[in-house]
Amino acid sequence: MSDANLRRSWVTSANGHADFPLQNLPLGLFSPAGQAPRAGVAIGDEILDLDAAGRAGLLEGDALRAAQAATRDGLNALFALGAGPRRALREALLALLDADHSRAAELAGANLLHRQADCRLHLPARIGDYTDFYVGIHHAVNVGKLFRPDNPLLPNYKYVPIGYHGRASTVGLGDVDIRRPNGQTLKPGATEPGFGPSQRLDYELELGVWIGPGNAQGESIPIARARDHVAGFCLLNDWSARDLQAWEYQPLGPFLSKSFATTVSPWVVTPEALEPFRSAQPARPEGDPQPLPYLYDEGDQQAGALNIELEVLLLTEGMREAGLAPERLGLSNTLNMYWTVAQMVTHHSVNGCKLQPGDLLGSGTLSGPERSQFGSLLEITEGGKQPLTLANGETRSFLQDGDEIILRARCVREGHASIGFGECRGKVVAAG
């Protein structure tokens, strides 16, 4: 076998692929035209059918057990198996799809693959619960400045990974349009709220975290073992109606301003694929408190952060009609997370809260320190006060009907094949 970081696949479209080279192998749920959903793995422009590989005798042991656990209903049972079987499946697929495989020519004609363009992708797991965190410190500061100029970051932020429980029933893929929500808003100068479509619709650039093995109710997940409870990652857009949010969020936080829609990317990028892109957690600014003992683990501090480039683009109706490409609105990185994924998982469970396979966590908006790195229009336009002028002359304070938001992510490291997440897309349509 060739060096693992440089090995190539007999699936020729995988070699040099922007998102899905051999080194990635993300998991998902797909259906060929006219057929039932089944589990698969993205490889280049193709999808490897896990059920077909199992029936062909190409998988065995823990790898076969993992493939068989991935059913047409979702990847929950595979997530529940934990890292061992998932790693065994990955190693088996790395060998099976390698260009140096002794049966490469035979495998290429074995009806194991389906063209992604010919398939429909589905939500990869049944989501029992969805929790959105707030670990992007630059976003927290930027938003705080808009509402509390003298005290933008409340003192609990640097002690507690802040989060709120979202609505799992409205998490979906980009094949479902985002209908502009109706709700109550209090217009400037008004003393009573009105009702109607949100006028300040926004996106949020986030990392999604899929939970693997859970914990029993009343028990907590120790920080040193929290990574064992993560099944994989995706991109996540937490759509937000800022005018509804401003009226409702005190004293209990987001409700209808967030629950109408959350969009995720369809492929689950595994922790194993991201291993080369782990990083030390960025040092906290001088004077910041050290995490409390239950949130502190030296191993997590040394390798608990992820170096993932995050990009958000906008495609307006005007761009679409003119045949223009989407325009980048922001370019950030997961290194802007103040808390690690492990700290999020541990804190979520420390009170005995039961996490289950297929639960979804959002990171919160991951903005960088510069305007070009902001992950929401709320920040870019300073709450609508400074409209954004696009290259085609259009302006935006917040999203308009027909606007499509596209999230992308890339992992790049010298000496390693770069990998991506695929796209997370969502198009806004008029209120009902």
Catalytic positions: 139
Any long-range contacts for 278-284 (C-beta under 8 Å, 24+ apart)? 278/303, 278/304, 278/305, 278/306, 278/307, 279/303, 279/305, 279/306, 279/307, 279/335, 280/305, 281/305, 281/340, 282/335, 284/158, 284/338
How far apart are alpha carbons 231 and 4 in whole angstroms?
A: 22
SS3 for 386-407 is CCEECCCCCEECCCCCCCEEEE
Neighbours of 299 (CB within 10 A): 11
Q: Give me Rg for the CA atoms of the chain.
A: 22
Cβ atoms of 178 and 406 closer than 8 Å: no
Cβ atoms of 97 and 27 closer than 8 Å: no
- Residue 364 backbone zone (phi > 0: left; psi -120 to 50: alpha; other: beta): left
Binding-site positions read 132, 134, 148, 204, 206, 238, 245, 249, 258, 262, 365
CA-CA-CA-CA torsion sign (211, 216, 218, 222): negative
For 104, the token pair is: 């490469």
Binding-site positions for Ca(2+) read 132, 204, 206, 238
Residue type (1 letter), 294: Y
Binding-site positions for Mg(2+) read 238, 258, 262
Count, residues in the chain: 432
SS3 state of residue 81: helix
